[in-house]
A = this chain, B = another copy of it.
Amino acid sequence: MTMNRYTVTFLPDNKSVEVDEGTTVAEAAQSAQVFITNLCGGEGVCGKCRVQISKGKVAPEENATALFSEEDIKKGYVLSCQTEIHEDLEVVIPPESRMEESQIMTGEAAQETPESGLNPLAKKIYLELPPPSLDDNISDIERVSREIKKKIGSRSLDIPLNCLQNLSNKLRENDWKITATIARDRDCYRILNLDPLDTSAQNYGLAVDVGTTTVVAQLVDLNSGKVIGVEGCHNLQAGYGEDVISRMIYACGKGGLPPLQEAIVEDINQLIDKLTGKYKVPSEQINAIVAAGNTTMSHFLLGLTPCSIRLEPYVPTADVYPQIRAKEIGIHINHAGILETIPSVASYVGGDIVAGVISCGIADRTEVRGLIDIGTNGEIAIGNNEWLVCCSASAGPAFEGGGTRCGMRATKGAIEKISISDGQLKYQTIGNANPRGICGSGLIDCIFELVKNGIIGADGKFHRSLQDTRLSIEDNIPQYTIANPDETENGDAIVVTESDIDNLIKSKGAVFAAIKSLIDYIGLGFDQIETFYVAGGFGSFLDISKAIAIGLLPDIEQKKIQFIGNSSLTGARMSLLSQSSLEKCLNISRSMTNIELSNYQPFMDEFIAALFLPHTDRRLFPSVKY
């Protein structure tokens, strides 16, 4: 039986793809590399992947009525993950369902050479060897090793078979001139390549932040330490679920692990293609990659089963990952080029946090400092050059635009700032576009303004009796209109419901409770923390005073809170450029104490106490005045 094949064209991209009958529109979009938002992993419940069928017919679907208005259904809106293709189709992806390039955070706070000096993971050493004579007739490889050791000291030098094969001719045909590419692996050096003549001028590396949503890669000149360029893309794994948990469920169920590994490898290969094309660097001159990601992403990258990560007692396959040849997992750089994955601390404190810790130098100084990475999980690390503790709390998707009626990622058209003054509500959208939804920072602003203006109480409940044209009650749930239908991109009102606020309070409560638990665990007060670094995409749009005012961040001097952008990428680059930075990562991974909050009663108590605006214990937030 041959399968029928149909063509699906996606607008406005005008990208077409031919697929087998029965493929879903979401799968077709992924094949066409058109990115559709998808929070629930294709379960048909989040409603974020809606698209409009503009030509062709599809079967009506069950979930549609619950998620779409009658109007929408008439217009041809369907859930792309639930809609099978049985004829040629033309599909319009509305802006709210689209993952935008602008979501990719390639920026960092710190940019240049690591503090410990340039000592890259992969080095090229040009050697002019003295030719052998009867008085000096050691073997070819010993001759090479002898000269290398003069340059790197007498560490043990591992020499794989491929470096020996044809070495004899290489040396004799090139007047004993050869370039050795060597890489550090834990306590020893390894020769990756022995190339004829002097190729030492070209030696590149790649720092990669393997994020759940986006993958960002920096091309780095390993000779100078300079960043040549940076590119980002969506994590292709989004097709298997927006968040880590959905993808784990996919990988551990029928779908299996391989498609998730292939997706992330494909992402990295595409970024390599873009970077090498744009900057005219041959990909075979890339000799090392350092990748940082959370524990699950690191497992996906290396093809390790992540299934036990999400089940008590939360055990990953590995926290420390072996240095491998990038080609072992299908990444296209030099055939002998290596890939290091920044080690994790535990199932929910990954290499991204370890990289973040080294990026802001927490482990380098005597002062106690902290790192907060806020996303679906809130990860917190606190310490100094003598000790480090960390924990992770599930914050839910609220800060990333999920779990709320009109939530969206921080992309074009997202309301990122809100103020209410004298009964007047003002908002600002990303790119000054017509509003399409509210992103995390907008939601924080919103809650702050609602409570400050007495529209909601400290418990997050609306004062139902309040006279406010923006306040309405639907299905017995109060909601507040932020943007009226005539202002928005799609003509629907943008509202915040009491349930949304409830979700958001749980999210901020979890993050604060985690910070507080950790601070209590180490027996310090907030005022004893010199600096809190705030990492992640979320950070850059955040109004600190409002984040404090709703009880998300501790009530300390605002100058003590610093945004550091993509610290995972920074840490990966530092480890690429400095062997001692990578060693630090390993030490941090081994020595940082992880407090498992799911088993930690003080956290549960703190969480309950934090489900209030700003907190049930107002003494913790002396500066908050509403």
Contacts and interface: CB of A to CB of B under 8 A. Distances in A.
A381 interface: no
B308 A161 contact: no
A257 B621 CA distance: 77
A305 interface: yes
A598 B315 CA distance: 64
Interface string A318-338: 111110100011000000000
Contacts of A347: 137
Contacts of A469: none
Contacts of A302: 161, 164-165
A139 interface: yes
A599 interface: yes
Question: Main SS of the interface on chain A?
Answer: loop
A143 B317 CA distance: 10
Interface in A127-155: 132-134, 136-143
Contact of A164 (B132, B133, B322): B322
B167 A305 contact: yes
A314 interface: yes
B139 A317 contact: yes
A116 to B, nearest CB: 24
A164 B314 contact: no
Nearest to A185: B158
A50 B317 CA distance: 64
A306 B318 CA distance: 42
A134 B168 contact: no
B313 A137 contact: yes
A162 to B, nearest CB: 9
Contact of A303 (B165, B320, B322): B165
Interface in A278-307: 302-307
B168 A304 contact: yes
Contacts of A322: 158-161, 164
B313 A133 contact: yes
Interface string A561-605: 000000000000000000000000000000000001011000000
A75 interface: no
Contacts of A486: none
A475 interface: no
Nearest to A314: B137
Interface string A501-539: 000000000000000000000000000000000000000
Nearest to A167: B317
Given A187-B156, A328-B161, A140 B307 contact: no
Which residue among A140, A315, A328, A346 has the maximum number of chain B CB atoms within 10 Å of its CB? A315
B139 A319 contact: yes
A258 B127 CA distance: 29
B137 A317 contact: no
B168 A308 contact: yes
Contacts of A226: none
A241 interface: no
A187 B157 CA distance: 12
Contact of A169 (B156, B159, B307): B307
A41 interface: no
Interface of A: 132-134, 136-143, 156, 158-161, 164-169, 172, 186-187, 302-308, 312-322, 324, 328-329, 346-347, 596, 598-599
18 contacts: A132-B315, A133-B313, A134-B599, A137-B347, A138-B315, A139-B316, A140-B308, A140-B317, A156-B187, A158-B322, A160-B322, A164-B317, A164-B322, A165-B303, A166-B305, A167-B305, A168-B306, A168-B308
Please provide the 3 A-B residue pairs with the shortest distance between their CB atoms, ordered closest to farther. Answer: A168-B305, A137-B313, A134-B599
